Amino acid sequence: MEVLRKPKWLKSEKRGARKAREVIKILRKYNLHTVCESAKCPNQGECFENGIATFMILGETCTRNCTFCAVDKTKHNLEPIDINEPKAIAKLSNELGLKYIVVTTVTRDDLPDGGASQFIEVINQIRKNCDPEIAIELLISDLKGDMDLVKKIVIAGPDVLNHNVETVPRLYSAVRPMADFERSLKVLQTAKNTDSSILTKSGFMVGLGETKIEVLELMRRLRETGVDIVTIGQYMAPSKEHYPVAEYIHPDTFALYKKEGERMGFKLVESSPLVRSSYHAERAKKILNKRL
């Protein structure tokens, strides 16, 4: 298949290199990792410069075989749970003076609870040891469809619960063969049903071969599920071995999706080529503040 050339609008600003090195050095001191590094996010320099990072708990190796993702999938390298990780995140958050914390994970289908207890302990440590004004966003896996685990995480008290659908349903077999679209919707619905005040969030990529009609239908399904925030960004293959880019979507189309999303009633729509799930995540705090 022909490899498409990246258009000019996909060139990210080379910002924050020095700050990124500083933050990564501190992360290593606490034996912590960020999805910004593991997923090769194009915005990590900018985010680090702004004092924003997405902590990735439960190691760096995933048990799923998604064909779009740069995260390691070597199953025999699965790391044991680090019981010190939640407290380390709280300490680092204080050291960096963070006001908005995003915590995500690789999918750990090997763990009995999928890592839910670690998410809960991270929330507990942050609430116990950090500024009470800190907002917490969690980006969770589908926990193999165990909705009781989803409920436990929500009851622990995050401000934002994110679970990404990643792509349109038709492409799941090629892009997310071990996932299920309806199951992902159920995660989001369960979170909202458990606590109607929580902000729910989901994101997906475009440029994998979907149509505009499919994108708009996907957005409609998310909104019907009660999702408050949606993120839409351009898929960029991490390597030649990953799922190929089918199309580079023009910024005008992203603007269309943003307009349509706002019309559908989403409280926040982040839609542009370089948007990633946690990019500008702190903007959700404006919505949180309006609820108070």
CA 5 to CA 207: how far, in whole Å? Answer: 13
User: Count of CB atoms within 10 A of residue 278's CB?
Assistant: 28
With a cut of 80, say whether residue 74 has pLDDT above it: no
Q: How buried is residue 161: exposed, middle or buried, by Cβ count under 10 Å (0-12/13-18/19+)?
A: buried
**Using alpha carbons only, how large is the chain's radius of gyration in Å?**
18
pLDDT tens for 266-280 read: 999 999 998 988 777
CB-based contacts of 280: which residues, under 8 Å, 6+ apart?
270
How does residue 54 score in pLDDT terms, banded at 50, 70 and 90?
confident
What is the token pair recorded at 103?
């915590």
H helical segments located in the chain: 17-29, 35-38, 44-49, 85-96, 116-129, 147-155, 172-175, 181-194, 212-224, 251-264, 284-291
How does residue 98 score in pLDDT terms, banded at 50, 70 and 90?
confident
CA 271 to CA 65: how far, in whole Å? Answer: 26
Out of 14-28, 167-181, 209-223, which region has the weakest mean confidence (pLDDT)?
A: 14-28
Average pLDDT, the chain: 87
Q: What is the pTM of this model?
A: 0.90
How does residue 84 score in pLDDT terms, banded at 50, 70 and 90?
very high
Tokens 């929500």 belong to 154
Domains and CATH numbers, the chain: 8-291 (3.20.20.70)
pLDDT tens for 137-174 read: 999 999 999 999 999 999 999 999 999 999 999 999 99
Angle, nearest 10°, between helix axes 212-224 and 251-264? 30
CB 153 within 8 A of CB 161: yes
3-state class (DSSP) for residue 270:
strand
